[in-house]
A = this chain, B = another copy of it.
Amino acid sequence: MSEFRPVATRRAFEDITAQIRDRLMRKSLQSGDRLPAERQLAEQFRVSRNTLREALRSLEIAGLVELKKGASGGAFIREGGGEAVVAGLSDLFRMGAIRPEHLTEARILVGTEVTRLACKRRNKMDLAALEANVRAAQAATGRGETARRAEINYEFHRLLARATRNPVLIVLTDALMEMTRHFVETIGYQPNRYVLPSRRRLLALLRDGDAAGAAKEMEQMLKRLQRSHLASYGKTK
């Protein structure tokens, strides 16, 4: 392995974003803080406003700042929400780098572990939110609102991930659900009779704190979902 590294003629906007990222890491900039106005910042960095705007655009896409118009507007530091990660994985799915079989497999592995951990950490508020979600799912099913039903189902997994208190699992689950939404839109939503009963069994296991049982229930449900999803996909292909 060579001791050299590729020469990197850094572009001006990259230098700017690096400086701001550095201040973020050193807590010299925190969420909610506002950066000076574009014209002022451009002067401080000794670059044109165009170049500065490319830097801000880059930070905005990365989810680090939010740009607001008008007086008392400007670039505000966002708190880490993970939108960039979700968008990045969605792009991979759109481009075909992540295929349906990869997505469903990852959902099984991640969903099972999320369920296991959520069962150990969930509090009463988590349980209440999950129960409300299942009630909403039942109501939507009764009214035949399939699209709404799908959204409620995704939300269940997001709620469960939040109960783990681990942001890595939270943002990963958000991304998996976003990809699943894209996927299901292409193959068409298929009503089924097994998700809702599984949810009820899962709720009981979560209440009892039976982590192994809850994980098993989730795993089996996700495997069943995988089979039907991939079957639908095979037909449309």
Contact = CB atoms under 8 A, between A and B. Distances in A.
Interface residues of A, number: 45
Nearest to A112: B113
A109 B117 contact: yes
A64 interface: yes
Interface in A86-100: 87-89, 91-92, 94-98
A114 to B, nearest CB: 9
A87 B63 CA distance: 11
Interface string A54-89: 100110011110000000000000011110110111
Nearest to A97: B80
Given A80-B91, A97-B80, A102 B168 contact: yes
B109 A95 contact: no
A50 interface: yes
Contact of A167 (B63, B85, B94, B97): B97
Most chain B beta-carbon neighbours within 10 Å: one of A64, A94, A168, A172? A168
A94 B57 contact: no
A106 B25 contact: no
Contact of A92 (B54, B82, B95, B117): B82
Nearest to A89: B85
Interface in A7-54: 13, 21, 24-25, 27, 31, 50, 53-54
Given A54-B53, A82-B88, A95 B61 contact: no
Interface of A: 13, 21, 24-25, 27, 31, 50, 53-54, 57-58, 61-64, 79-82, 84-85, 87-89, 91-92, 94-98, 102-103, 105-106, 109, 113, 117, 166-169, 171-172, 176
